[in-house]
Amino acid sequence: MPRNPTAGTDIDAPLDAVWDVMLDTARYAEWNPFLRRIECPSPPSVGDPIHLHVVFPGRSREVTSPERISLVDHPHDDGDGVRRATLAYDYEGLPAKLGLIRGRRYQRLTQEPGSPTRYETVEEFSGPLVFLAGPGRVEAGFKVHAGALRTRCESPR
C-alpha cells in the first residue's frame, strides 16, 4: 500500500489551458468522476477553504474532505524554457487537528517546449494513523482524476 499516493499523465494541451481547467472548480462535476464537486472561492487563493466531495472508485458514497489551499503557483517559466505551475492544499479534518493524519496534496504541471503538459499529483501523508486515510484508495482516485483531466483538456469544448 502506498504511503504517499501518486498519479500522473501526459496531456496534449498547453499548460495554461490545463491550469485553467484545474482552477475552474465550479465545473468539476462536468468532467471529474472522483472529485464530484468542489466548494471553493473562485479563483482559489492561498488560505481559502476548499471542500472536496469525493467518490472513491468502486464506491457509491460521497465523502466530504475539508482542506485549505496552501499554494497557488501560477504558470511561469523559471528561465529554462520549461513552464511550471503548482496547486496544493492541506487536509483539515478532525484527524488532522488531532495530529493523527496529516496530508498535503500537490498537483504539479510541467511543459517543456514542444512537448505535452505533464500532470503529476501526490498526497504527502504523515501521522500515526495514515493507514486509516486509505492511501491505496486515494491513489486509485488520483488515477481516475488524472485520466479525466487529460480527457477534459484534450477534448474540444
Nearest CA to 46 out of 24, 23, 72 is that of: 72
Decide which of 42 and 138 is more confident. Answer: 138
Q: For 44-60, how does the pLDDT look when each residue is reduced to its tens digit (9 = 90+)?
A: 999 999 999 999 998 98
The yes-or-no verdict on residue 7 having pLDDT over 60 is yes
Q: For 108-117, how does the pLDDT look when each residue is reduced to its tens digit (9 = 90+)?
A: 999 999 999 9
Cis ω for the linkage preceding 95 (within 30 of 0): no
Number of domains in the chain: 1
Cα–Cα distance for residue pair 51/25, rounded to 1 Å: 11
Is the Cβ–Cβ distance between 26 and 40 less than 8 Å? no
Range of the domain at 96: 6-154
Is the Cβ–Cβ distance between 8 and 118 less than 8 Å? yes
Establish if 1 belongs to a structural domain: no
In DSSP terms, which residues pair with 100 in a beta bridge? none
Is 0.85 surpassed by the pTM of this model? yes
Confidence of residue 81 (pLDDT cuts 50, 70, 90): very high
Q: For the chain, what is the mean pLDDT?
A: 94
CATH number of the domain enclosing 129: 3.30.530.20
Establish if 53 belongs to a structural domain: yes
In DSSP terms, which residues pair with 118 in a beta bridge? 10, 110
Confidence of residue 157 (pLDDT cuts 50, 70, 90): low
